[in-house]
Chains A and B, each alone.
Chain A
């Protein structure tokens, strides 16, 4: 199944989905050395974002989050791709700094359609994902 969306940062990636219904802050929300979500009470606490297609509504929190995304990329603990409902400056900046494919505004709501563990292809260059 192919769904079109808006490309923010181009690139191609594939991997297992990790879906969060809650907005996410990379600053303070994740251990950059391992990629494990550490934010107390977050629905995905204890899960790793490393190599996953990380799907969440939008970013929040400090702009330092940009640098954290970049650090994770360098350590190999970053998501393979990011999909937001509606992205914002921090996530866009961090993904662009690291060259991580980023899309938003899919034609269908990915939070409803996709479950954690589904295998996803993200072709941000062409502006679509495949489940």
Chain B
């Protein structure tokens, strides 16, 4: 792989050991994927934050990186942790877990990473421009950044996104190259979609069909940010989709419409969406209702508050980012939800919090991504639209 003189110097240790280690990681991956060279990246979003997943091994690595003086050179935001960094006791998280989690966060903070603790950096002002090269981890954010924002990233892992943040580089391959962003399958949606839940079901279905290919989706119009968020999360969960195009909507769709000849066409009919929605139908009345995978936008928090005007929020847990929480707090929305019995937590979500260790067995959610992962962790899961989970009203 070709390296510039500066990159050679970084690799040889001329800019410190932490930079050299990060560079050697990127060069190794460049070799695996036969990248010709590295490319400069403008921002990073780093996963690998929950102490539940990383444990002592991850903590040890990250603390050593920080100790070695590792420091990010570009904007870098952080994925959710395993708990609300302040209200963890109230969540039922153990002090031992909290200690490990707080040390992990501190290690990232020392390296200059913004402690955003959200899977939706694009909702709190981290929005790369179309065509820019970035290094993002977190599969739902990757799909959103590539598809909706038109930025360019592969599905990075925690360590590779961090290495890119430290060096400002990433190996040039995969979705960073124009030719790999072309559609490889056409999905024709033959049924009107009305809610965010429908978009989650559609994403889950397309992910299963498309695997790791690039779907070009037809038949959608007037799609909201929240619907695109649900679609991005689900499509990256059931499959490995990192990039999709929606005709008439996403930034590269028009350009990509020149490359549709001869592609397989998959129709999506109402029956297939219904079948997907019925996959997760286990939990009963006692399930904890979890909303906020991916993290809720302000509009979604408003909707939850509105639904709670007519019913109790007992056993309802809502997850959002610090950035959105602050706005919701100022508007009295957090108080409205909590006075109705619900809880609003920041920095974490149902997928990365240690729910089983906290004694949870059943969860009801409006997220296909959460349903998929919680189910694979052995919890009993129900997936349904928010208005059904909370009774009445219309979901956007």
Residues on A facing B (Cβ under 8 Å): 6-9, 32, 62-64, 66-68, 70-71, 74, 87-90, 92-93, 95-97, 99, 102
Question: Given A9-B24, A95-B28, A68 and B57 touching (CB < 8 A)?
Answer: yes
Least Cβ distance of A39 to chain B in Å?
A: 17
Interface stretch among B155-163, B176-184, B230-238?
A: B155-163
> A8–B31 contact, CB under 8 A?
yes
> B60–A102 contact, CB under 8 A?
no
Interface centre among B27, B54, B55, B159 (most CB of A within 10 A): B159
Residues on B facing A (Cβ under 8 Å): 21, 24-25, 27-29, 31-32, 48, 53-58, 60-61, 157-160
Least Cβ distance of A12 to chain B in Å?
A: 15
Least Cβ distance of A8 to chain B in Å?
A: 5
> A66–B157 contact, CB under 8 A?
yes
Cα-based distance from A70 to B56 in the complex (angstroms): 11
Cα-based distance from A85 to B303 in the complex (angstroms): 52
Least Cβ distance of B174 to chain A in Å?
A: 11
Cα-based distance from A92 to B28 in the complex (angstroms): 6
On chain A, the residues within 8 Å of B160 by CB distance are 89, 93
Least Cβ distance of A121 to chain B in Å?
A: 21
Sample of 14 further A-B pairs with CB below 8 A, known A63-B159, A89-B32, A95-B28: A7-B31, A63-B48, A64-B53, A64-B57, A67-B48, A67-B60, A70-B61, A71-B56, A89-B157, A92-B28, A92-B31, A93-B25, A93-B159, A102-B28
- Residue in chain B with minimal CB distance to A68: B57
> A66–B28 contact, CB under 8 A?
no
- Residue in chain A with minimal CB distance to B137: A63
> A67–B32 contact, CB under 8 A?
no
> B29–A89 contact, CB under 8 A?
yes
Which of the residues B31, B54, B61, B157 comes within 8 Å of A6, measured between beta carbons? B31
List 5 A-B pairs, minimum CB-CB distance, nearest first: A71-B57, A96-B28, A67-B57, A96-B25, A67-B58
On chain B, the residues within 8 Å of A70 by CB distance are 57, 60-61
On chain B, the residues within 8 Å of A32 by CB distance are 57
Question: Given A66-B157, A93-B25, A97-B25, A87 and B60 touching (CB < 8 A)?
Answer: no
On chain A, the residues within 8 Å of B29 by CB distance are 89, 92-93, 96
> A66–B32 contact, CB under 8 A?
no
13 A/B residue pairs, CB under 8 Å, sorted by A:
A8-B32, A64-B53, A67-B54, A67-B55, A67-B60, A71-B56, A87-B32, A93-B25, A93-B157, A93-B159, A97-B21, A97-B159, A99-B24
On chain B, the residues within 8 Å of A9 by CB distance are 24, 28
Least Cβ distance of B135 to chain A in Å?
A: 13
On chain A, the residues within 8 Å of B55 by CB distance are 64, 67
Cα-based distance from A110 to B56 in the complex (angstroms): 34
Cα-based distance from A88 to B54 in the complex (angstroms): 20
Interface centre among A6, A66, A67 (most CB of B within 10 A): A67
On chain B, the residues within 8 Å of A62 by CB distance are 53
Which of the residues A64, A90, A96 comes within 8 Å of B24, measured between beta carbons? A96
Cα-based distance from A102 to B27 in the complex (angstroms): 13
Least Cβ distance of A128 to chain B in Å?
A: 16
Cα-based distance from A17 to B305 in the complex (angstroms): 61
On chain B, the residues within 8 Å of A88 by CB distance are 32
> A97–B61 contact, CB under 8 A?
yes
On chain B, the residues within 8 Å of A8 by CB distance are 28, 31-32
Least Cβ distance of B350 to chain A in Å?
A: 18
- Residue in chain B with minimal CB distance to A32: B57
On chain B, the residues within 8 Å of A96 by CB distance are 24-25, 27-29
Cα-based distance from A7 to B61 in the complex (angstroms): 24
